[in-house]
Amino acid sequence: MVTCFGLLTTAARPQSRQNQPQPNVGEIVLRSAAEAKRYRDEFKNLLAKETKTIRVFDKSENLKKERTIVSNFLVYESMKHAGDVTEFRNVLSVDGKPIENADERAVEFFERVLKAKSSESELEKIAKESLRFDTELQIAGLTLFQGIALDDRVRDSFVFEVVGRENSGNSDAYVLRYRQSKPSALIWISDKPAGPAVLDYAFDLGNLKGADPRLGGTLWIDTTTFQILREIRHLSIQPIGFDAPVTIASNDLEYSTSEFGIHTPRQIVHVQFRLDAKKKQVTKEVEYTATYSDFVRPRVEVKSDKPN
């Protein structure tokens, strides 16, 4: 991803921010899309402590079950196919109870992973290992990609609007609102993987069959670097019999500065809703909250001993 810099000649005088020309919505979208791509490139092989809490609610939205999982979190790049990345979690504790021999298990696990015959098999093994304690909801990939609506493969399906400027953390931010105005073959809901996608929410389809998923949300974009500081997004559908679209999943993603020139995840909240077709309403079913320590570059990287 390319970072855009404003250059001044030695004869130029710096202008106050108020007098500088403001980029239009198209420029903001393109420059932020470039930064989102750079994020994907730079985020590989970074490590942090992740604390994840999964809360399950009954049909009246009363808390039914809660689980907290602490892990060493690593953004893992495939040894079989450069550019393929996934999230690896070496689980350290569940509900305050330490996992016995967690580090030894991780070493042994990667020794087995290196023997995988394909990138697909390699990443599947990592996902299965990472999510083995996530019995209520298995969700992956939320840290790996920023600003899905900015992706050039789906961007023409969205309408963007700058609705103002706000402070986000310690930064001045453009507030960019977006909504999906037409269907995209790369944004869907499914009950099992159906092929390449920019966004795929897995649901037990049931009454959702034939629903037209639409993505909407808001981005807070740093006015200086054009990096994403925060994103709130929601996935809506209009099932048969419903008078208006309803939200079936939402994400709130917050980022903080890092030593790597990108904003890295600080907290991610995913909420999944239960659809009641008879009552024509939705209720909160699962809430997933993950918080992260400062990201670092691990001292040791996993490398294949096979020649290139």
Closest CA to 217 of 167, 150, 140, 169: 150
Q: What pLDDT sits at residue 78?
A: 81
Residue 111 phi/psi, 5° resolution?
A: -65, -35
Residues 265, 46 contacting (CB under 8 angstroms): no
**Residues in the chain, overall count:** 308
Closest CA to 43 of 208, 214, 255: 255
d(CA 157, CA 169): 30
Residue 180, burial from CB neighbour count under 10 angstroms (0-12, 13-18, 19+): buried
Mean pLDDT (the chain, rounded): 84
Inter-helix orientation angle 119-130/102-113, to 10°: 160
The pLDDT of residue 193 is above 60: no
pLDDT digits (tens, 9 = 90+) for 248-285: 899 999 999 999 999 999 999 999 998 887 778 889 99
Residue 177 phi/psi, 5° resolution?
A: -100, 145
pLDDT digits (tens, 9 = 90+) for 134-148: 887 788 889 999 999
d(CA 158, CA 178): 6
Q: What pLDDT sits at residue 292?
A: 97
Residue 65 phi/psi, 5° resolution?
A: -155, 150
The pLDDT of residue 44 is above 60: yes
- How do the domains of the chain map onto residue ranges? 25-292
Structure token digits, residue 259: 């030593």
When pLDDT is averaged across residues 91-110 and rounded to a whole number, the result is 92
Q: What pLDDT sits at residue 70?
A: 97
The pLDDT of residue 71 is above 60: yes
pTM: 0.85
The pLDDT of residue 302 is above 80: no
pLDDT digits (tens, 9 = 90+) for 201-242: 666 545 555 567 899 999 999 999 999 999 999 999 887 777
Residues 54, 134 contacting (CB under 8 angstroms): yes
Q: What pLDDT sits at residue 277?
A: 76
Closest CA to 210 of 190, 180, 186, 224: 190
Give the model's confidence band at 161: pLDDT under 50 very low, under 70 low, under 90 confident, else very high.
Answer: very high
Is the torsion defined by CA of 125, 126, 132, 137 positive or negative? negative
Give the model's confidence band at 245: pLDDT under 50 very low, under 70 low, under 90 confident, else very high.
Answer: confident
